[in-house]
Chains A and B, each alone.
Chain A
């Protein structure tokens, strides 16, 4: 009865490197949401995906950030050329539909040095 899985749990990157965050939804869930929690701030929506489709990316920064949820495999949030301001906890959540409860993974804590 695995929940939402995220890896890695902690990721350290130097400025300019790429960060790849992975999320495997709960069994039976085909909807994936990504949220970011910046220090001293609340949780902010980034992107919503279903298999092979980006449904809503209204919360994604315009540059350097991308997300995918392929037919096979986990959802991936990619951050290119990371900067210190990208340091945050990134949470993935999955649900069985648009307005159902979202179950969160343990998060990936990204530190940019």
Chain B
């Protein structure tokens, strides 16, 4: 069965520190997609990244970077030089391609990141 685990419930850092949010997933499919979303205090969900299971290259976007490792079923997210505006709940999610799957997202429980000034 598919499952996403974000073991860190809450993380608190001081501004300018680097922080890594962990995500571990379980799936039987060979083709699947992984996502990260940000939910700031205002409540909306902001799409950050989508990665397919055949692309293990790490990705960097500004201060954000993602480390995808199939060997450990992990898709970790690092924020470099964190800022107060990064304070939010971050969700990792999985979508499988199998015939019975329709793109629905399986979310982890979320990690609440607090960045203090």
Interface residues of A (CB under 8 A from B): 31, 33, 35, 41-45, 48, 55-56, 58-59, 89, 91, 93, 95, 97-107, 109
Contacts and interface: CB of A to CB of B under 8 A. Distances in A.
Interface stretch (B13-21, B39-47, B68-76, B77-85): B39-47
B88 interface: no
Interface in B2-57: 33, 35, 37, 43-47, 50
Nearest to B32: A99
A45 B104 contact: yes
Contact of A98 (B46, B47, B50, B103): B103
B66 interface: no
A41 B108 CA distance: 10
Contacts, number: 63
Interface residues of B, number: 22
Contacts of A58: 104
A106 B44 contact: yes
B97 A33 contact: no
A89 B47 CA distance: 18
Contact of A33 (B33, B105, B106, B108): B105
B111 to A, nearest CB: 11
Contact of B97 (A42, A45, A99, A109): A99
26 contacts: A33-B103, A33-B105, A35-B107, A41-B109, A42-B108, A42-B110, A43-B91, A43-B105, A43-B107, A45-B104, A45-B106, A48-B103, A55-B102, A95-B103, A97-B103, A99-B33, A99-B95, A100-B50, A101-B47, A101-B50, A102-B35, A102-B105, A104-B45, A105-B44, A106-B43, A107-B44
Contact of A31 (B50, B95, B103): B103
Given A56-B102, A98-B102, A104 B107 contact: no
Contact of B37 (A55, A56, A99, A104): A104
